[in-house]
């Protein structure tokens, strides 16, 4: 091979390398594009979570106990239907501090070191499901 022929061969090889590199990059682009679909599916199955699963992932069970019967950090949630209507309970979960001045919850504040956090960033529909579940718990 003459010198120019070697150069042409080298350029051709380089061209093919770049061509395949580009192809493989595009393939990973496609993979990236498909990722949001996977996320959407996860979100959809997230919406289908049961109240128990939601309460576990929100940390309710961490304070109120795995079976919600109370710990030394938070009171039992069994039988809260004696104290709350559905709407009031949803409002309470969104903003517990606005209920703190009333008798039973005021006593809880003295009894437990931690305060009930507010869950105002959670979809009200999900809070509704949690409220329904809590109101269905027997004493």
Q: Which stretch binds ligand HEC (CB under 6 A): 1-9, 19-27, 32-40, 110-118?
A: 110-118
Does 118 help bind ligand HEC (rule: CB under 6 A)? no
The answer to whether 62 contacts ligand HEC (rule: CB under 6 A) is yes
Give me the phi and psi of 5, to 5 degrees please. Answer: -65, -40
- Pick the binder of ligand HEC from 80, 126, 129, 135 (CB under 6 A): 80
Q: Which two tokens stand for residue 71?
A: 């710990």
Among 83, 87, 102, 132, binds ligand HEC (CB under 6 A): 83
Q: Is 77 in the site for ligand HEC (CB under 6 A)?
A: yes
The span of 11-19, 21-29, 35-43, 62-70 binding ligand HEC (CB under 6 A) equals: 62-70
HSE-up of 108 (CA within 13 Å, CB side)?
A: 21
Per CB under 6 A, the segment of 12-20, 26-34, 35-43, 73-81 that binds ligand HEC is 73-81
Confirm or reject binding of residue 137 to ligand HEC (CB under 6 A): no
Phi, psi of 51 (to 5 degrees): -55, -40
d(CA 39, CA 112): 39
Q: Is 56 in the site for ligand HEC (CB under 6 A)?
A: no
Burial class of 126 by CB neighbour count within 10 A (0 to 12, 13 to 18, 19+)? middle
The answer to whether the CB of 60 falls within 8 A of the CB of 70 is no
Q: Within 10 Å of residue 74's Cβ, how many Cβ atoms?
A: 21
Q: Give residues in contact with ligand HEC (CB under 6 A).
A: 55, 58-60, 62-64, 73-75, 77, 80, 83, 93, 96, 105, 108-109, 112, 114-117, 119, 130, 134
């Amino acid at each position: 091979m003459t010198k120019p022929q070697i150069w042409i061969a080298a350029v051709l090889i380089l061209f093919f390398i770049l061509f395949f590199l580009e192809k493989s990059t595009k393939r990973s682009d496609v993979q990236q594009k498909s990722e949001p679909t996977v996320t959407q599916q996860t979100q959809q199955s997230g919406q289908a979570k049961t109240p128990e699963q939601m309460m576990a992932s929100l940390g309710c069970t961490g304070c109120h106990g795995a079976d919600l019967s109370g710990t030394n950090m938070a009171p039992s949630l069994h039988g809260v239907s004696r104290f709350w209507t559905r709407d009031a309970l949803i409002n309470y979960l969104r903003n517990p501090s606005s209920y703190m001045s009333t008798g039973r919850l005021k006593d809880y504040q003295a009894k437990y070191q931690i305060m009930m956090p507010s869950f105002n960033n959670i979809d009200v529909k999900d809070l509704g499901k949690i409220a329904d579940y809590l109101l269905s718990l027997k004493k």
